[in-house]
């Protein structure tokens, strides 16, 4: 039995080399790839997310942990892709909106979402409504995540929401970033707002579960 | 050798200016546009904004170079004009000041990413970018270098070193703290608490400890952080709060803190220990005028 508690701890500490080697070790033991992902890596990132939300750790620690997570994922990725024929991983398309070049927060959400088992298609910064919608269609995404740091660019989120509705795209639109909040989310008709990267992942999961049950 | 700015500070508190970015947008800068390029391309707009701050009673003008490092300018394809943009910014601020006795603070904002090992930008690139920006600003004759909206001590240290190497007469180091919703208190995005920041800045021997902007940080919070700084060290403190938190009204961003409210906070900031007060996002010449009135009233009382 692999020491998943140790793996979780090493993810938390951001120890890329050890996480990678323990992941390989778990597979060598013949453990199921999804078990290793869930119990070894995702469970570790979950603690990272919770501590981040509680202001016990900050952006540097999360970035290091996300890298360790990625090191483990690099081992699992080929196997996951191979066995994913029946169970596609849920896709999130995300980007910083048009006119806005800030991406630290958006990248953090992306890494945490990957850490939670989503496939993330990152469109980078300065993303137009057309680019968002094209990517959602191309990748069959369930979630469209938008970020903005500037009060002047956050209003573009409404342009995207309107375009999504006009074109009848079936996707859950989530927003985040320093200037936006739940009221703004309601005002523009987006489906969800999250205040931080950990809450964002919880929001994605909730929305996906609601879609699957609805 | 003591700087003129520090000498003036021994005589009493100084007033800095208000926001540049939000004012440039009011003048027609598109969201995501390069406001620093206006130092060369639409010089008269920058000059008009800074003149309005001088008329409102500001003693210090912050140059329009927040995003003027080569790394930030590269995002707009403007890195080739970095030196010219920074030089022009100082000239505009000097011109806006006219013959009034005032101070020009050369602004260095964050480079906009995360350095190794946490992020992917090598420290050497930041050293290079801040180094040449500080050099351009100092050559053009600033009274101080203001390194602001900083969240990591590593990046801040590079800014301080760059300012020193460029021969800055005075170094002001300013961090952006957020209110911690769960834990209470304040820390930057990168996890730096005010008392840690203050101790670090004292160790680096900057002349002025400062704070600006920050999520959920209003005047009351700013007062609290100024007090924390003061407990650590007696040197001058600069504080530039936002005009409240941005709110949305019919999909237009508004900062609801009125000039009167911001003026009303001045006495508390000064009594907490602030030596230079000014405004960050959303503050306008009217806010600065109200702060001027409050400072003048304090001086007479």
Per residue in B220-230, pLDDT (tens digit) is: 899 999 999 99
Model confidence, pTM: 0.89
Q: Rounded to a whole number, what is the distance in Å from the CA of A84 to chain B's nearest CA?
A: 31
Q: Are residues A170 and A193 in the same domain?
A: yes
Whether residues A55 and B182 touch (CB distance < 8 A) is answered with: yes
The average pLDDT across B40-46 equals: 98
> Which pLDDT score is estimated for B284?
92
A155 interaction partners in chain B (CB closer than 8 Å): 248, 251-253
The whole-angstrom distance between residue B209's C-alpha and the CA centroid of its chain comes to: 11
The whole-angstrom distance between residue B29's C-alpha and the CA centroid of its chain comes to: 20
B215 interaction partners in chain A (CB closer than 8 Å): 178
Whether residues A195 and B25 touch (CB distance < 8 A) is answered with: no
Q: Are residues A104 and A147 in the same domain?
A: yes
A79-83, B169-173, B197-201, B281-285: least confidently modelled range: A79-83
A33-37, B5-9, B103-107: least confidently modelled range: A33-37
Whether residues B32 and A187 touch (CB distance < 8 A) is answered with: no
Indicate which CATH number applies to the domain containing A39. Answer: 1.10.1240.10
Whether residues A100 and B181 touch (CB distance < 8 A) is answered with: no
Q: Are residues A175 and A208 in the same domain?
A: yes
Q: Are residues A104 and A209 in the same domain?
A: yes
Is residue A41 within 8 Å of A19, Cβ to Cβ? yes
The average pLDDT across A55-70 equals: 92
Identify the band that residue A213 occupies on the pLDDT scale cut at 50, 70 and 90: confident
Q: Rounded to a whole number, what is the distance in Å from the CA of B183 to chain A's nearest CA?
A: 6
Q: Rounded to a whole number, what is the distance in Å from the CA of B85 to chain A's nearest CA?
A: 20
The average pLDDT across A48-74 equals: 92
Residue of A nearest to B26 (CA): A152
> Which pLDDT score is estimated for A84?
58
Please count the residues of chain B: 301
Of the residues A83, A99, A132, which one is the last residue of a structural domain?
A83
Whether residues B114 and A56 touch (CB distance < 8 A) is answered with: no
Q: How far apart are CA B264 and CA B256, in angstroms?
A: 14
pLDDT averaged over every residue in chain A:
92
Residue of B nearest to A126 (CA): B32
**In the numeric block, which tokens belong to residue B196?**
């840690």
> Which pLDDT score is estimated for A29?
96
> Which pLDDT score is estimated for A196?
87
Substitution target from B246, B281, B282 for chain A, most A beta carbons within 10 A:
B246
> Which pLDDT score is estimated for A87?
58
Q: Are residues A59 and A103 in the same domain?
A: no
> Which pLDDT score is estimated for B22?
83
Of the residues A83, A106, A126, which one is the last residue of a structural domain?
A83
Q: Are residues A53 and A70 in the same domain?
A: yes
Q: Are residues A167 and A196 in the same domain?
A: yes
Nearest CA-CA partner of A141 in A187, A196, A207, A200: A207
Q: Are residues A15 and A70 in the same domain?
A: yes
Is residue A31 within 8 Å of A61, Cβ to Cβ? no
A53, A60, A150 ranked by CB distance to B182: nearest: A53
> What's the pLDDT tens digit per position in B229-257?
999 999 999 999 888 777 767 666 777 88
Q: Where are the beta strands (DSSP E) in B132-236?
A: 144-150, 171-175, 178-179, 186-187, 208-212
Substitution target from A54, A56, A60 for chain B, most B beta carbons within 10 A:
A60
Q: Are residues A131 and A44 in the same domain?
A: no
Q: Give chain B's domains with CATH numbers.
A: 4-292 (3.20.20.330)
> What's the pLDDT tens digit per position in B142-165?
999 999 999 999 999 999 999 999
The sign of the CA dihedral A148, B279, B107, B202 is negative
**Whether the predicted pLDDT of B181 surpasses 90:** no
**Whether the predicted pLDDT of A85 surpasses 60:** no
Whether residues A55 and B117 touch (CB distance < 8 A) is answered with: no
A57, A152, A183 ranked by CB distance to B25: nearest: A152
Give residue for tokens 């101070």. Answer: B103
B182 interaction partners in chain A (CB closer than 8 Å): 53-55
A158 interaction partners in chain B (CB closer than 8 Å): 251
What percent of chain A shows pLDDT beyond 70? 98
Give chain A's contact residues with B (Cβ, < 8 Å): 53-61, 63-64, 98-102, 104, 126, 150-156, 158, 178-179, 183-184, 187-188, 195
pLDDT averaged over every residue in chain B:
94
Residue of A nearest to B182 (CA): A54
Q: Are residues A30 and A76 in the same domain?
A: yes
Torsion of CA B245, B249, B253, B255, to 10 degrees: -40
- φ, ψ dihedrals at B179, nearest 5°: -75, 130
Substitution target from A14, A52, A151 for chain B, most B beta carbons within 10 A:
A151
By residue range, what is the domain housing residue A22?
Answer: 4-83
**Whether the predicted pLDDT of A86 surpasses 60:** no
> Which pLDDT score is estimated for B90?
98
Q: Are residues A115 and A179 in the same domain?
A: yes
Whether residues B30 and A99 touch (CB distance < 8 A) is answered with: yes
Identify the band that residue A171 occupies on the pLDDT scale cut at 50, 70 and 90: very high
> Which pLDDT score is estimated for B208?
98
B32, B190, B281 ranked by CB distance to A60: nearest: B190
> Which pLDDT score is estimated for B294?
97
Of the residues A83, A112, A147, which one is the last residue of a structural domain?
A83
Identify the band that residue A61 occupies on the pLDDT scale cut at 50, 70 and 90: very high
A63 interaction partners in chain B (CB closer than 8 Å): 114, 118-119
> What's the pLDDT tens digit per position in A106-145?
998 998 898 888 999 999 999 999 999 999 999 999 999 9
Nearest CA-CA partner of A107 in B36, B229, B118: B118
Q: Are residues A21 and A105 in the same domain?
A: no
Indicate which CATH number applies to the domain containing A156. Answer: 3.40.50.280
Whether residues A58 and B31 touch (CB distance < 8 A) is answered with: no
Q: How far apart are CA B300 and CA B292, in angstroms?
A: 12
Q: Rounded to a whole number, what is the distance in Å from the CA of B112 to chain A's nearest CA?
A: 7
Higher pLDDT, B257 or A97: A97
Q: How many structural domains comprise chain A?
A: 2
The average pLDDT across B268-276 equals: 97
Give residue for tokens 């320093």. Answer: A178
Identify the band that residue A83 occupies on the pLDDT scale cut at 50, 70 and 90: low
Is residue A177 within 8 Å of A148, Cβ to Cβ? yes
The number of C-beta contacts closer than 8 angstroms across A and B is 76
């Amino acid at each position: 039995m692999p020491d998943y508690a140790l793996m979780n701890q090493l993810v938390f500490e951001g120890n890329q080399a050890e996480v990678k080697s323990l992941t390989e070790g778990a597979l060598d033991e013949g453990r199921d790839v999804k078990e290793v992902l869930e119990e070894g890596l995702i469970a570790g990132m979950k603690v990272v997310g919770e501590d981040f939300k509680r202001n016990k750790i900050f952006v540097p620690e999360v970035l290091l942990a996300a890298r360790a997570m990625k090191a483990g994922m690099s081992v699992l990725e080929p196997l996951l892709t191979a066995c994913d024929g029946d169970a596609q991983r849920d896709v999130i398309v995300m980007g910083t909106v048009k006119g806005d070049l800030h991406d630290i927060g958006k990248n953090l959400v992306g890494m945490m979402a990957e850490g939670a088992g989503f496939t993330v298609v990152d469109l980078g910064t300065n993303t137009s409504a057309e680019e968002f919608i094209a990517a959602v269609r191309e990748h069959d995404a369930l979630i469209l995540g938008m970020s903005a740091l500037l009060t002047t660019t956050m209003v573009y989120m409404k342009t995207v929401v309107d375009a999504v509705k006009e074109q009848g795209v079936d996707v859950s639109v989530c927003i985040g970033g320093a200037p936006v909040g739940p009221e703004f989310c309601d005002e523009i008709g987006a489906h969800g707002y999250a205040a931080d990267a950990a809450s964002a992942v919880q929001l994605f999961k909730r929305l996906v579960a609601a879609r699957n049950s609805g | 050798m003591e700087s003129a700015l520090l000498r003036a500070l021994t005589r009493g508190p100084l007033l800095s200016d208000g926001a540049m970015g939000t004012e440039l947008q009011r003048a027609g800068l598109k969201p995501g546009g390069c406001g620093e390029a206006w130092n060369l391309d639409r010089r008269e707009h920058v000059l008009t904004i800074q003149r309005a701050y001088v008329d409102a009673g500001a003693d210090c003008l912050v140059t329009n170079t927040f995003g003027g490092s080569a790394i930030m300018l590269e995002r707009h394809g403007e890195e080739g004009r970095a030196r010219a943009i920074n030089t022009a910014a100082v000239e505009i601020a000097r011109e806006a000041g006219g013959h009034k006795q005032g101070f020009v603070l050369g602004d260095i904002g964050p480079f906009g990413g995360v350095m190794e090992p946490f992020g992917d930008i090598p420290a050497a690139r930041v050293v290079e970018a801040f180094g040449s920006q500080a050099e351009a600003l100092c050559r053009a004759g600033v009274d101080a270098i203001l390194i602001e909206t900083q969240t990591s001590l590593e990046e801040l240290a590079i800014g301080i070193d760059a300012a020193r190497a460029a021969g800055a007469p005075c170094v002001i180091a300013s961090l952006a703290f957020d209110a911690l919703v769960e834990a209470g208190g304040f820390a930057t995005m990168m996890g730096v608490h005010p008392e840690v920041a203050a101790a670090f800045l004292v160790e680096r021997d900057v002349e002025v400890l400062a704070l600006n902007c920050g999520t959920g940080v209003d005047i009351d919070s700013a007062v609290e952080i100024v007090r924390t700084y003061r407990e650590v060290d007696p040197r001058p403190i600069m504080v530039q709060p936002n005009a409240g938190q941005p709110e949305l009204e019919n999909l237009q961003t508004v900062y609801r803190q009125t000039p009167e409210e911001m003026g009303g906070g001045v006495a508390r900031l000064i009594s907490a220990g602030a030596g230079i007060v000014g405004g960050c996002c959303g503050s306008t010449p009217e806010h600065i005028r109200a702060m001027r009135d409050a400072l003048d009233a304090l001086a007479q009382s």
